[in-house]
Structure 1
Amino acid sequence: MKNLKTDQIAVSNFPYYKYSLDYALDSLARMGGKNLEFYACDPHLHMDDASVSDIKTAARKVRENGLKTICVTPEQCNYPVNIASANIAARKRSIAVYVKAMETAVEMDCQLCQFLAGFGCLDEADEDIWKRSVESLGYLADLAETYGIHIALETSPKEYTCLTDSIKIADMVNEVGSSALHGMIDTAVLGYSHETIQDAIAGLENGRILRHVHVGDGKPNGHFIIGEGNLNLKEMMSALDQIKYEYAISLEILNPLYTSDPEYAMKTSYERLKKIIE
């Protein structure tokens, strides 16, 4: 491709969540990975349990394996993390998880975190959920600016976030009004938002607020090994190439099918994505 480069690809520890952090990092380095999206989950680095020492140790291990962290992503779908919760205690605790994720990013010399904007009960008024999300993200964005951190917001079904399509991301970014807040695209969840990648790019103000990309194959949704779904990933990468997208293209390969052999899942996806971009 003309503008995308293979050195924008980031490997990740997403599929290694049943293995130790040492195993995951050694595997990612062995396959030639350079950039890393760090998935903060148990047993690698659970935000609720991690001490300052734990964070420093994880950062040191990443560096010792020759990896550069480009994004810190705390687990926020399977864990009870919800910054738009109507429960004040739950919202406060969830905000604290994201604050610790930003502190982890600082320790890892990383300038990006990926967060979800929060959700409410499905029988609750959308505007009430939105208001709580705006308040929480406003606080987090202000703090991110002091840390020198950027936050990328992702779409997902309504059960996981109030940002169910790219236009809502743009609306949220504009309402919060912080230079630290951005949008992102996940190829494997575009089906949930009923968008093509061209729609998503357009919704994110023609890519102006696009700061991160997750890549996984889908049927049409899911996070399968590249080549094992039916998404036209070459077309999707071409769309990013056309807008001269310059940030990370991160492999989110996260599916129970790959629990027994995460290295195969990540290495195969890494090699196949390089071939698409070359």
Structure 2
Amino acid sequence: MVDLSFSQVAAMNEHFVLHTFSSFLDSAERSGIHKIELWAGLPHLYAPDTTPQKVNDIARQLRRRQMELICYTPEQCVYPFNIAAKDPELRKYSLEYFLRNLEIAGALEAPMFQIVPGWGLRTEPRQEALKRSLESVGVICRAAERLGIRVVLEALEEEESNLIRTAAELREAIDQVGAKNLGAIVDTCPMAAAGEDFEASYRVLGDKLWHTHFIDSVHQAWGDGVFPLERWLRQLDEHRYEGILTMEILNDRYLLDPSSALEKSARALRSLLS
């Protein structure tokens, strides 16, 4: 057992896309989880077509169950949004999408907002696309600062993005933007794809490592993949990690029975955490 606490575990609704938001909260409650990372996508909450009534309903459901919203994460990998887009209209559209999501995050009193860097065309120099990405990140951070929200930037796997794929590239981007409210989120899947672990991440990111998506390979439930999750937990523990471990389960194999995957992962984590 490690000194990390089960109270640091959060559930995420991304694999409940064929189910209601309330059924996700039911599953989290059965698992003894009271921290929520809100994935903002259809059918639960989608910024471009949501209403104040729907946002208020999400807030009421969280309050009624005494759930703490720890992070707001808009869908940004599957939907056509890219803050590094070469097409100025697409980039403008993408930034407007993130700024609208920030408004909703503020209304829900979310303390943290998660983003990815977008991607550049593979036929253009990486630095050109990275420059556009970091300019956009700066805009998002300034808007978030006015709302008192911290922003966490995530590295992606090579096939997802050619901009930020390693802890070193992530740290360089954070330093270049220079916003006090910008930190790093480390997702175990891109981390492993880069050949890294949490020890390597801490060596580079240090106190900028604010958040984690802690899940088995290919975003599967604990034990269904091949990651050395117990070893990684011990690495976080050695560095006295005080952030959240979000179970970002999103593999399609769980779409028909998302509760079982969430509850299985929670049981495994509970057995190892204080």
Q: TM over 0.5: same fold?
A: yes
CA distance in 1, matches of 2:50, 2:88: 23
Find 1:248's aligned residue among 223, 244, 250. Answer: 244
Counterparts of residues 163-202 of structure 1 (less than 5 Å): 163-202=164-203
Classify the secondary structure of the residue corresponding to 1:238. helix
Match of 1:88 in 2: 88
How many angstroms does 1:2 deviate by? 5.1
Q: Distance in 1 between matches of 2:248 and 2:193?
A: 16
Question: Which secondary structure does the structure 2 equivalent of 1:14 belong to?
Answer: coil
- Describe the shift of the 1:225–1:233 C-alpha distance in structure 2 as closer, same or farther (beyond 3 A): same
Instruction: Return the structure number with greater relative CO, CA threshold 8 A, min gap 6.
Output: 2
Instruction: Judge conservation of contact 2:254–2:261 (CA < 8 Å) in 1.
Output: yes
Give the RMSD, CA atoms, in angstroms: 1.4
Partner SS state of residue 207, structure 2: coil
Task: Give the fraction of aligned pairs with identical amino acids, expressed as a percent.
Answer: 30
Structure 1 stretches of 5 or more lacking a match? none
Q: Deviations over 1:206-247 (max 9, x none)?
A: x310110001111xxx11110111111111011111111101
- In structure 2, what is the equivalent of residue 272 of structure 1? 268
Unpaired segments of 5 or more residues in structure 2? none
Structure 1 residues 85, 159: CA separation in 2 closer, same or farther (over 3 Å shift)? farther
Which amino acid in structure 1 is aligned with residue 31 of structure 2?
M
**AA paired with 2:131?**
K
> Which secondary structure does the structure 2 equivalent of 1:138 belong to?
helix
Contact 2:2 2:272 in 1 (8 A): no
Secondary structure of 2:49's match?
A: coil
Cα gap change, 1:236 to 1:268, in 2 (>3 Å): same
2:216 is matched with 217
Looking at structure 2, the residues matched to 3 and 83 of structure 1 have their Cα atoms a distance apart, in angstroms, of 38
C-alpha displacement at 1:252, in angstroms? Answer: 0.7
TM-score by length of 1: 0.94
- Does 2:233 align with 1:237? yes
Aligned 8 A contact 2:2 2:234 in 1: no
Q: Post-superposition shift, 1:6? A: 1.1
**SS of structure 2 residue aligned to 1:212:** strand
Q: Which residue is equivalent to 1:102?
A: 102
Query: Per-residue deviation at 1:54?
Result: 2.1
* Partners of 1:141 and 1:151 within 8 A in 2: yes
Q: State how far apart, in whole Å, the 1-side matches of 2:77 and 2:272 are.
A: 29
Q: Give, as a single letter, the amino acid of the residue that structure 2 aligns with 1:63.
A: R
**Matched residue, 2:49:** 49
* Matched pairs, number: 273
Q: Any idea what SS the aligned residue of 1:244 has?
A: coil
Map of 1:136 onto structure 2? 136
Paired residue type of 1:227: G
Task: Give the equivalent residue in structure 1 for 2:115.
Answer: 115
How far is the alpha carbon of 1:159 from its aligned partner? 4.2
What TM-score do the two structures reach when normalised by structure 2? 0.95
